[in-house]
Amino acid sequence: MSSDAKSPPPKSSQTVITRETTATANSADAEVDLDVDSTTKLTPLNDEDSTSVLMELDNGTPSMLVISLTFLASISGFMFGYDTGYISSALVAIGDDFGTELTYGQEQFITAATSLGALITAICAGPFTDIVGRKPVLMFSNILFVVGSVIQCASQTVWTMIAGRFVMGFGVGIGSLIAPLYISEMAPPRFRGRMVVVNCLCITGGQLVAYAIGAGLDKVHNGWRIIVGLSMIPPIIQFVSFFFLPDTPRFLISKNKVERASAIIQRVHPTASPELIEMKVKELQSLNNSIPGDTVIAKLINGIKEIHVVPSNFRALVLACGLQGIQQFTGFNSLMYFSGTVFKAVGFNNSTAVSLIVAGTNFIMTICAFFIIDRVGRRRMLLLSLPCMMGFLVLNAIAFHFINIKFEGNDAIVRGNTDVWGPVIIVGMIGYVGSYSIGIGNVPWQQSEMFPQSVRGLGASYATATNWSGSLIIASTFLTMLKNITPTGTFSLFAALTFVSFIFVVLFYPELSNLQLEEVQKVLTGGFNIKASVSMAKKRKHVSHLKKHDVEHEHIDQV
Ligand SMILES: O[C@H]1[C@H](O)[C@@H](O)[C@H](O)[C@@H](O)[C@H]1O
C-alpha cells in the first residue's frame, strides 16, 4: 500500500511533496536499474503491493518489546567486551600469583584461549541455532560464562587459568554470533543499523567497565580474581530474563509454530493490522520454503551449497568475512588486549589507568557511530575510518622508532626519550582507536543484512568465525611480533594491511544503508554495483526524508 493509497486525499501543500516522492522513487529505480537475474531466488514475494505493505510494516518504530529485548540480548555484547577487556589489566595484576612472573608467551596463551574458544563456538552455533532456536543457545552461553569464571577465579596455575578462559570463550563466541542475529531478526529495518550498534556499544562499554574496575583494583591483592568473579553477574541476569523473552518469529515459522510467530510479530508491531501480520507470516513462510529440503539437516546442507554457488550469496560472504577480517587484522585488539603491557613497557606508572583512555575513546566513538550509521552510510564511514587509522598507525610506528624500545626475554628496554615520544604514542593511540571505532569497529557487525534470510544464520556464522580467527591470530602473535620485528615494524605492518583494506572497500563494498533487504540482494546480484548502490542509497534516503516531511505536513494540516 503506497502512502497515496493509504492517506486521505492530499491537500495542496502535500500534493507537491507526495508526487515528488513517488517520482523520485521511480526515477531511483529506473536510473539504478539493478535487474534481478531471473535465475536467482531473491524475491519470494513478487506481488508489488504486498511488498510495499510489508515495507510499511517494517518501517514502524521499535516497540517496547523490541527495545527491551535489544538491551537484554546486548548483555552478550557486554560479556564479550568485559571478558576480552579485563585481560589487559589482569595480565599486569596477576604478577607472580601463579608462582613466577608470567612470560610473554604465557600472556599470549591466556589471552588467545578465549579467542580460540570463541572461534570454535562461532562455527558450530550458527547451524545449531537453526535447529534448536536462538533463545536456548543464548541461554546455554550464560552457563558457559559462569563455569569459565569459576574456573579462573579458583585457578592456582597458568594452565587452569587458560582452561577457564577457554570455556569462557565458548560463551563469548555464541553470544557474539547470536545477539546481533537475534536483534536484527526482531528490529524494524529502519532501526536495524542502530539496534545492532547497541550491541557494539555494550561490547565497548563492557571493555570500558572492565578497564575501569581493573584500574581501580590495580593495587589490591588478588584484585584480578574479583574482576573475573564480577563477570558472573550479567550472564545470570540474561539467563533469568530470557525465560520471559520469545524466540524470533523466523525460527518459530521454521518449526511451523505459526500462531506463536504471529503473536510475537503483533507484539513487535503493536499498531499493525491483522492483515499486515498475516502477510508478514506468509512472507516468512515463503522465505523459509525457499531453501529446499524436508528436514532441518537437509535445509542446512542445501544452505551450505547455496551460500557458495549463488553469486549474490557468495559476494555477501566475501564482504561479510572480508570486513570482519579487516576489523581484526588491522590490529585494534592488540591494544585492547595488551595496551597495559605496552604502556608499562613505555614507562607509564599506572599503565592500566593509561590504557583506560583506549577503552574510553573506543566507547565514545561507538556512541557517535550509533548516531550516524543509518544517516552517513556504512561505506562512507569506512572510507573515512581506514585512511585515518593508517595515518595514526604510521605516527605510532615513528614514535616507537624514536622511543627505541626493545622487547627482550621478559623485559622491555627503552633507550629513547619517553618524555617527548610517550605523549605522541598516546595521541597516536587515541587517534587510531577513534578512527577505528567510528567505522570498521562497528560496520562489520551489520553482517546479517547482507544475506538473504535463507542463509543468514550460516553467513553470520562464517563472518563471526572470521572475526575470532583474526582475534586469535593477533592475540597469539602481537607480543612475539613486538619482539621479532620491533614495535615500529608491527605498527607499520598494521598500516600496510589497513591500506590494502581501504582498497578492498573502495573496490568491493557497496552502500547498503537505507536499503530494504530485498534491495541489498539486488545490489549484490550481477556484480558489487558500487556506483549504483551509492546512488540508490542516496535516493532512498531522500525519499524517506520527503516521506517524513509528508507525514509532518499531514499532522500540521490536521491540527
Ligand atoms: O566491534 C568490536 C569492538 O570494536 C571491540 O572493541 C573489539 O574488541 C572487538 O574485537 C570488535 O569486534
- Ligand 1 binding pocket mutation candidate from 88, 172, 200, 389 (most atoms within 8 A of CB): 200
Mind giving me the DSSP string for 89-139?
HHHHHHTTTTSSPPPHHHHHHHHHHHHHHHHHHHHHHHHHHHHH-HHHHHH
What is the tens place of the pLDDT at every residue in 221-233? 899 999 999 999 9
Q: Which atom of ligand 1 has the smallest separation from the CA of 333? A: 8
More confident site: 212 or 354: 212
Residue with the smallest CA separation from ligand 1 atom 1 is 441
> Which CATH number applies to 64-245+301-508: 3.40.225.10, 3.90.226.10, 1.10.10.10, 1.20.1250.20?
1.20.1250.20
End-to-end CA distance of the chain: 25
Rg, Å, the chain Cα set:
25
Residue with the smallest CA separation from ligand 1 atom 2 is 441
Asked if residue 5 has pLDDT above 70, the reply is no
Asked if residue 471 has pLDDT above 60, the reply is yes
**88 CA → ligand 1 middle, Å:** 14
More confident site: 95 or 316: 316
Mind giving me the DSSP string for 461-473?
HHHHHHHHHHHHH
Q: Which atom of ligand 1 has the smallest separation from the CA of 366? A: 4
Question: DSSP 3-state assignment of 44?
Answer: coil
Residues near 377 by beta carbon (within 8 Å), at least 6 away in sequence = 511, 513, 514, 537
Residue with the smallest CA separation from ligand 1 atom 5 is 204
Reading the block at residue 455, the C-alpha cell is 542463509
**200 CA → ligand 1 middle, Å:** 7
Give yes or no for a contact between 225 and 153, defined as CB atoms under 8 angstroms apart: yes
Residue with the smallest CA separation from ligand 1 atom 6 is 204
The complex scores an ipTM of 0.98
Q: What is the mean pLDDT of residues 100-110?
A: 91
How much is the pLDDT for 419? Answer: 84
Instruction: For residue 542, name the pLDDT band (cuts at 50, 70, 90).
Output: confident
Domain boundaries of the chain, sorted by first residue: 64-245+301-508
Distance CA 476, CA 396 (A): 21
Mind giving me the DSSP string for 421-438?
HHHHHHHHHHHHHHHHHT
Distance CA 442, CA 293 (A): 35
**85 CA → ligand 1 middle, Å:** 10
Asked if residue 11 has pLDDT above 50, the reply is no
Residue with the smallest CA separation from ligand 1 atom 4 is 441
Low-confidence winner among 51-65, 374-388, 425-439, 526-540 (lowest mean pLDDT): 51-65
CA 154-157-163 angle, to 5 degrees, is 70
**303 CA → ligand 1 middle, Å:** 28
Contacts 24+ apart (CB under 8 A), 502-507: 502/383, 502/386, 502/387, 502/390, 504/322, 504/326, 505/326, 505/379, 505/382, 505/383, 505/386, 506/383
What is the tens place of the pLDDT at every residue in 241-281? 999 999 999 889 988 899 999 999 888 888 888 888 998 89
Q: Catalogue the E-assigned strands of 269-424.
A: 405-408, 411-414
Q: What lines the ligand 1 site, CB under 6 Å?
A: 84, 200, 203-204, 207, 327, 333, 336, 362, 437, 441, 445, 467, 471
Residue with the smallest CA separation from ligand 1 atom 3 is 441
**441 CA → ligand 1 middle, Å:** 6
Angle, helix 378-403 to helix 351-376, in steps of 10 degrees: 160
- Ligand 1 binding pocket mutation candidate from 82, 204, 466 (most atoms within 8 A of CB): 204
**24 CA → ligand 1 middle, Å:** 38
Question: DSSP 3-state assignment of 243?
Answer: coil
Give yes or no for a contact between 90 and 149, defined as CB atoms under 8 angstroms apart: no
Neighbours of 317 (CB within 10 A): 22
Residue with the smallest CA separation from ligand 1 atom 12 is 441
Distance set, CA 372 to CA 68, 376, 442, 443, 501 (Å): 22, 5, 11, 11, 22
- Ligand 1 binding pocket mutation candidate from 196, 333, 338, 368 (most atoms within 8 A of CB): 333
Pairing state of beta strands 405-408 and 411-414?
antiparallel
**440 CA → ligand 1 middle, Å:** 9
Element (H, E) at 289: helix 274-289
Asked if residue 460 has pLDDT above 60, the reply is yes
Neighbours of 39 (CB within 10 A): 9
Mean predicted lDDT score pLDDT of the chain? 84
Distance set, CA 519 to CA 268, 463, 491, 511 (Å): 23, 21, 39, 11
Kindly tell me the number of DSSP H helices and DSSP E strands found in the chain.
23, 2
Residues near 162 by beta carbon (within 8 Å), at least 6 away in sequence = 109, 110, 113
Instruction: For residue 297, name the pLDDT band (cuts at 50, 70, 90).
Output: confident
